[in-house]
Amino acid sequence: MIAVVVVAALAIGTALYVRVGWSRMETACSSDASGESRVGDVSYDWTWQPVGFTCTYVDGSTETSLWF
């Protein structure tokens, strides 16, 4: 019974982390320092090397973070 609760808690925690993290990544990467929107200039992904949410811009630069 305890194992089921632990597995359920981990599943819920992981889902929340991914959902909130993805939203924060989209917000952080969709505008530049001047506040100008660049939504069409960026793609979003999760990578394992390096680990984290990754924004890739049209100029080829990337930004990776576990928590934007």
* Domain spans of the chain, in order of start: 2-65
CA distance 46 to 41: 17
CA distance 17 to 31: 22
pLDDT at residue number 30: 87
Comparison of pLDDT for 35 and 63, the residue scoring more: 63
Comparison of pLDDT for 2 and 34, the residue scoring more: 2
CA distance 26 to 37: 11
pLDDT tens digits along 9-44:
999 999 999 999 999 999 988 876 666 666 678 999
Measured CA to CA in angstroms, residue 41 lies from 30, 35, 49, 61 at distances of 8, 14, 22, 11
Positive or negative, the CA dihedral 6, 8, 13, 14 is positive
